[in-house]
Structure 1
Amino acid sequence: MAGVEAARRRMRIPLALVVGRYFLYVLVGALFAVGIPAGAFAWQIGSGAVLLANYGEAHLEEVEGVLAGQASFDDGAIPSAYRFARFGADGSLLASDMPDAQLAAAQDVAVPPDGDGPRIVEAASSSFYFAVRLADGGRCVLRYEIMPQWADKVTRDTLPNPQDLFVWAALIALVLVVALVAMRAGRVITRRMEPLTSAAEAVGRQELDTPVGGSDVTEIDDVLRAMEAMRAALKDSLEAQRAAERRGREQVAALAHDLKTPLTVALGNADLLAEDAASGALGADQAASARAMRDAALSMDAFVDRIVEASRGQTEEMSFAPVDPGVLADGLEGAVGRLVAARGLVLEASRTTAFEDACNAAAAKAALPLWDAGALERAVLNLAGNACDHAGGGHVALVFSFDGSAQVLSIAVEDDGDGFSPEALAHGAERFFRGDASRTNAGGAGGAAHFGLGLSIASDVAEAHGGRLELSNREDAEGSVLGARARIVLPLRSPSPKRDGPQV
């Protein structure tokens, strides 16, 4: 930590100075990019390799005198600043080094339609034609531009105009300077911002023990200081959260362990009653109640063991295995029936013909779906518990059906209460949702307070099996609500069940 503070106490430079330095590099580079081609251009002019822009205009009379005095026309006497076209006395073209596009204008100057025309004709802003009378009666038209030219005709015909060459060389050099400076600036700024990147990545990985580094750039160092404060605060918060979670797990484990004692007593008494039932000392109803008490006590004991394991951080994965839907339905009817009977209500269980046929076909073909029967039973019992709490008429229905077109089985739990509110239909499967007051309070006789978990757990189990939970209201022909319906929809054949779903 002391080393970090010492690094931060060293001289810091503003970011504007860092960036401004590269603007200075660009300026200096631009001077060289333009200065070097300009120097080379000036040297070529001084050495005579390039003629000045006004050379054609300044030496026009001199060239005219040379051509007019020749007994025999020699185009070698014409400097490279000019292009020529020689016409005979009858106006026919005899020789030329002009491009075809310029010959028509040259002929108009050599043989003007109105007789003798002006000796110099301006064809463009910097292009001129000049007619010279030759000794043989013909004319030579010279074309020149107010622009530097190469002194050598071969060079003139091979290379671009020296002025254009200078401009392109300067532009290319400027682009290279800007590109090189930008690359250098990018690398330097990236390197200076590496502490920011490293700090952000460390926080993302929750590696909060290493202090954030420093930077010699003022603005970056200010951000790093803020990130260091954030890192320390996150570390303290995370440690406090972990400590609270650890205390919570220890408390849950202790409470679960304390539950073992009354559960052992209840299970022992249930075993005694089971022995009495086996000896015929109890009536049929009493024997059934004793068996239900024993099954419930065993189930609670298993739940307590799972709570203790979860408090120790041991997660339980679902155990998928081939399940006969018909056998599962038998077990669900028994478990839900005992729950409903214990609440003093009546269970109405039914199976559609399509469901029976699908179960028989699956069993006959040995094409049983991969399900976790225990998780599905707990999910359906959650739905049945909610239905018992809100069964206004004292009836709960368990309906098994099959949709052949979609190849899905449905397990629906229905009640005859007030039904779901619109808000509950939209959000009822969300964990800890308690927005529907009519279905989150204590409910009917023997009902318990709701915590917004039952529907969420059922939804998680359905999704882990590749299915879904559907919430709806039962309605009559007039649209009046007859009660609520919660339905688990499962694919009959799930090729890859979701093994990473939430555990219940």
Structure 2
Amino acid sequence: MGVKKLRSIFMRYIFAVAGGILLIIAINLGLYSLCVNTGVIIPAMQIEDRIAAAAESIQTDELFNKADIPSFCDYAVYSPTGVFLDGSLSEDTANTFWVEAVTNGMDRITPYRVLVIDRGDEVILLRYRLTSQFSNATLRRICPTTDLLLVGLIIVEVIFLLFLISHWFGKYTGKKIDKLLFITQKIEQQDLDFKIESSGIFEVDRALYALEHLKQALRMSLAEQWQADKLRQDQISALAHDLKTPLTIIRGNAELLYDTELAENQKECTDYIEGSVIQMQDYVETLIEMTKAKENFPFRRQNVKVSSLLQEIHTQAKGLCVVKNVHLEWNQNFNQECISVDREQLIRAFVNILSNAVEYTPAKGTIFFDVNEKDNAILFSITDTGSGFSSEALKRATEQFYMDDQSRNSKSHYGIGLYVVNSIVTQHGGQLILSNSEKTGGAQVTISIPY
């Protein structure tokens, strides 16, 4: 397909319009001529000739014969003194035309022409239109002049032609410009795996080629950024793993010190060492968790029995609750036998939520775990009896590193727990819903997984 310039497309549009108008005029004139030749339409020239012939017959005939009057012509018969005797005109109209034509000597009374024929013992008045008209009386009453009908038809047909050609032109150019919109949307979404094809319009292609260069530049920039991020994550992950070994050694030696006789101040220092090492180990685990979250985890979906999945989650939940002397109330009501999920990732998400729930639930409090079905999805709801989410946390709790100081008194999660959970739920095509329970006043986290 050749590439055309907008100028040539506009010229084609103009030529199409001009050619269409000429074709419309030619067709209508041809039909008009056909109607004239077949006697459907009487042209103005024939009207004058037929009126002249009728006037001569009326003037020379011994007796007035109505058959001599053309069908397109109205008439009136008067006495020599102007008294209306007969005719196709009404008496009032005939009297008006007598005054204008005979008394005032006018031969044109708009929109009519008038011809007066004096036969001596009577006067004949003929009234007619000097314009092309239908020979049929009914059509003549509907449209007195065919010239106006012809012009009107041509105007309507030209307007319709302009509409059709403009619609085609707009649709044609719109499809070409849609390529630009498609590409800009792809670039906006950072989806750069597409091929740019020629639109067939020179000016649009120039814009497409500019977008192609932009796409390549953006691809290189994103590749460099992704590579730098990956390298940084690898470095953090390696450093975090490397730190675990000396921290384990320090903690082990600190615990060995407890087996020796220590003075009170030495025991206090050992306690500080062990507490700081535990805190540093938490930092290291957080760094490792963060790098795993950035990598989006390997996703291995498989059919899993819901009962088996819940059994493992229940075991984990009981273990977490025992540590802080928290009661676990478990309720389940579902019929779905299997669900397609990544078992390990989903369990990891629930452990994150349960850990938070246990942490913010006071000792001897209760955590509610409810399982239900709704709209082709299984709903897992975990509710604690803590202080609940603040209004800000409800909006931002799934952001990485977000910590709500108003509702959290612990710093062991560093704001990535719900971020990780949200990433896992999103991979499953599900939804993470955060709210505060009306029943307990505590935080309620609901995971919806479709099946």
- Range with bigger deviation, 199-208 or 85-94: 85-94
Equivalent residue for 1:432?
Answer: 400
Q: Is the 8 A contact 2:382 2:446 kept in 1?
A: yes
Equivalent residue for 1:485?
Answer: 442
1:74 aligns with 2:65: yes
1:80-115 residue CA offsets vs partner (Å, 9 max, x unmatched): 652447799997878xxxxxxxx5x534334x4x99
User: 1:470 Cα deviation (Å)?
Assistant: 4.0
Q: Is the 8 A contact 2:385 2:443 kept in 1?
A: yes
Which of 37, 44, 51 aligns to 1:52? It is: 44
1:378-421 residue CA offsets vs partner (Å, 9 max, x unmatched): 44432343345556x65653235699999987532233x5x432
1:202-251 residue CA offsets vs partner (Å, 9 max, x unmatched): 8686346x67759774x435423421321221231343355446647866
What is the distance in 1 between the residues matched to 2:392 and 2:316?
Answer: 29
1:349 aligns with 2:317: no
SS state at 1:147 partner: coil
1:126 aligns with 2:111: yes
Instruction: Supply the RMSD in Å over aligned alpha carbons.
Output: 6.2
User: 1:349 Cα deviation (Å)?
Assistant: 0.5
Distance 1:456 1:439, change over 3 A: farther
Question: Quick one: which amino acid aligns to residue 52 of structure 1?
Answer: A
1:471-502 residue CA offsets vs partner (Å, 9 max, x unmatched): 32789xxxxxxx972234579xxxxx525xxx
Equivalent residue for 2:318?
Answer: 334
Q: Is the 8 A contact 1:69 1:135 kept in 2?
A: no
1:498 aligns with 2:450: yes
Q: Is the 8 A contact 1:34 1:173 kept in 2?
A: no
Q: Is the 8 A contact 1:106 1:141 kept in 2?
A: no
User: 1:313 Cα deviation (Å)?
Assistant: 7.2
1:386 aligns with 2:338: no
SS state at 1:323 partner: helix
User: 1:466 Cα deviation (Å)?
Assistant: 7.3
% same residue? 18
Unaligned residue ranges in structure 1 (runs of 5+): 1-6, 95-102, 266-303, 476-482, 492-496, 500-504
TM-score (norm 1): 0.54
Question: Quick one: which amino acid aligns to residue 425 of structure 1?
Answer: L
Q: Is the 8 A contact 2:371 2:379 kept in 1?
A: yes
1:12-60 residue CA offsets vs partner (Å, 9 max, x unmatched): 96x45642563355346546654786699799999x985438966x997
1:328-378 residue CA offsets vs partner (Å, 9 max, x unmatched): 78525422225xx2xxxx3231538xx4xx77xx8xxxx576567866654
Distance 1:318 1:334, change over 3 A: farther
Q: Is the 8 A contact 1:423 1:435 kept in 2?
A: no
1:223 aligns with 2:192: no
Distance 1:232 1:436, change over 3 A: same
Q: Is the 8 A contact 2:196 2:208 kept in 1?
A: no
Q: Is the 8 A contact 1:109 1:130 kept in 2?
A: no
Aligned length: 398
Equivalent residue for 1:22?
Answer: 13
Write out aligned runs for 1:271-282 (5 A). Answer: none
Q: Is the 8 A contact 1:214 1:221 kept in 2?
A: yes
User: 1:323 Cα deviation (Å)?
Assistant: 1.5
TM-score (norm 2): 0.59
1:206 aligns with 2:192: yes
Which of 397, 414, 417 aligns to 2:385? It is: 414
Distance 1:236 1:251, change over 3 A: same
Q: Is the 8 A contact 2:321 2:328 kept in 1?
A: no
Q: Is the 8 A contact 1:127 1:146 kept in 2?
A: yes
Which of 119, 127, 132 aligns to 1:148? It is: 132
SS state at 1:411 partner: strand
User: 1:126 Cα deviation (Å)?
Assistant: 1.2
Distance 1:308 1:60, change over 3 A: closer
Distance 1:408 1:470, change over 3 A: same
Unaligned residue ranges in structure 2 (runs of 5+): 250-287
Distance 1:395 1:184, change over 3 A: closer
Equivalent residue for 2:367?
Answer: 398
1:453 aligns with 2:417: yes
Question: Quick one: which amino acid aligns to residue 229 of structure 1?
Answer: H
User: 1:171 Cα deviation (Å)?
Assistant: 3.0
Distance 1:231 1:490, change over 3 A: closer
Distance 1:400 1:198, change over 3 A: closer
